[in-house]
Amino acid sequence: MKRRNFIANLAATGLGLSFFESAIGQQLSTMLGATGKVVVVGGGMAGTTVAKYLRMWGGTGMDVTLVEPNATYVSNIFSNMVLTGERTISQLSFNYSTLASKYGVKIKNYAVTYIDPVGKKVSLSNGTTLPYDRLVLAPGIDFEALPMTGTAANQAKIVHAWKAGTQTTSLQNQLKAMTKADTYILTIPPKPYRCPPGPYERACVVADYLKRVKGGGKVIVLDANPEIQAEALNFTQAFNVTHKGIITYVPNAVINGINADTMTVSTVGAGTFKGKVINAIPTHKAGNLITQSGIGLANAPGPNSVPNKFAGVNVLTYESTAVPFVHVLGDSSATNQPKAGHIANAEAKVCADAIIQLLSNGIVNQAPMTNSSCFTPITKTTASWLSVVYRYDPTTKTMKPTGNGVTESNGATSGNYEDMLKWFNNLMSDTFK
Ligand X SMILES: Cc1cc2nc3c(=O)[nH]c(=O)nc-3n(C[C@H](O)[C@H](O)[C@H](O)COP(=O)(O)OP(=O)(O)OC[C@H]3O[C@@H](n4cnc5c(N)ncnc54)[C@H](O)[C@@H]3O)c2cc1C
Question: Which residues, numbered 380-419, are part of the site for ligand X (CB under 6 A)?
Answer: none
Residue at shortest CB range from ligand X: 44
Segment near ligand X (CB under 6 A); pick from 135-143, 254-262, 294-302, 310-318: 135-143
- A 10 A CB-CB count for 240 gives 11
Q: Is 410 exposed, middle or buried (0-12, 13-18, 19+ CB in 10 A)?
A: exposed
Asked if 41 is part of the footprint of ligand X (rule: CB under 6 A), the reply reads: yes
Radius of gyration for the alpha carbons in the chain, expressed in angstroms and rounded: 21
Options 311, 344, 350, 354; binder of ligand X; rule CB under 6 A: 344
Instruction: Decide: is 377 part of the binding site for ligand X (CB under 6 A).
Output: no
Q: Helix, strand or coil for residue 347?
A: helix
CB of residue 269 to ligand X, shortest distance in Å: 27
x/- map, 50-89, ligand X, by CB under 6 A: -----------------xxxx--x--xx-xx---------
Distance CA 24, CA 59 (A): 11
Compute φ and ψ for 245, nearest 5 degrees: 85, -15
Q: Which is nearer to ligand X, 32 or 135 (CB)?
A: 135
Question: Nearer to ligand X by C-beta: 36 or 341?
Answer: 341
Query: For ligand X, which is the closer residue by CB, 69 or 271?
Result: 69
- Are residues 293 and 193 in contact, defined by beta-carbon separation less than 8 angstroms? no
Window 184-223: contact mask with ligand X (x via CB under 6 A): ----------xx--x-------------------------
Positive or negative, the CA dihedral 350, 353, 358, 364 is: negative
Using the minimum distance from each CB to ligand X, give the nearer residue, 56 or 206. 206
Minimum distance from residue 27 beta carbon to ligand X (Å): 28
112 interacts with ligand X by CB under 6 A: yes
Q: Which residues contact 304 (CB under 8 A, 6 or more apart)?
A: 191, 192, 310, 334, 335, 336, 337, 338, 339
Residue among 11, 32, 111, 328 that touches ligand X (CB under 6 A): 111
What is the rounded distance in angstroms from the CA atom of residue 220 to the CA atom of residue 214? 17
Taking CB under 6 A as the criterion, the residue among 231, 331, 353, 430 binding ligand X is 331
| Distances, alpha carbon 427 to alpha carbons 49, 393, 416, in Å | 10, 26, 16
Residue by residue, DSSP assigns 270-315 as S-EEE-SEEEE-PPEEE-HHHHHHTTT-TT--STT--TTTSEEEET
Q: How many CB atoms lie within 10 A of CB 392?
A: 18
Residue 289 binding ligand X, by CB under 6 A = yes
Nearer Cβ to ligand X (28/239) = 239
Task: Report the residue number, 80 or 370, with the smaller CB distance to ligand X.
Answer: 80
| Residue 351 found at the interface with ligand X (CB under 6 A) | no
Closest CA to 139 of 284, 283, 327, 288: 288
The number of beta carbons lying within 10 Å of the beta carbon of residue 179 is 11
Task: Single out the segment in contact with ligand X by CB under 6 A; choices: 17-25, 132-140, 181-189, 264-272.
Answer: 132-140
If one asks whether residue 44 binds ligand X (CB under 6 A), the answer comes out as yes
Scan residues 224-283 and list those touching ligand X (CB under 6 A). Answer: none
d(CA 247, CA 218): 6
Going 338 to 344 to 345 to 346, the CA torsion angle's sign is positive
Q: Which stretch binds ligand X (CB under 6 A): 29-37, 40-48, 213-221, 384-392?
A: 40-48
Q: What is the dihedral of CA 415, 418, 424, 429, to 10 degrees?
A: -120
Q: Judged by CB, which is closer to ligand X: 4, or 108? A: 108
**How far apart, in Å, are the Cα atoms of 177 and each of 86, 182, 203, 215, 237?**
17, 10, 17, 13, 28
Q: By CB under 6 A, name the one of 15, 99, 105, 138 that touches ligand X.
A: 138
Query: Toward ligand X, which CB reaches closer, 33 or 433?
Result: 433
| Cβ closest to ligand X, residue 260 vs residue 427 | 427
Residues that bind ligand X (CB under 6 A): 41-47, 67-70, 73, 76-77, 79-80, 111-112, 138-140, 162, 194-195, 198, 287, 289, 330-331, 339-342, 344, 374
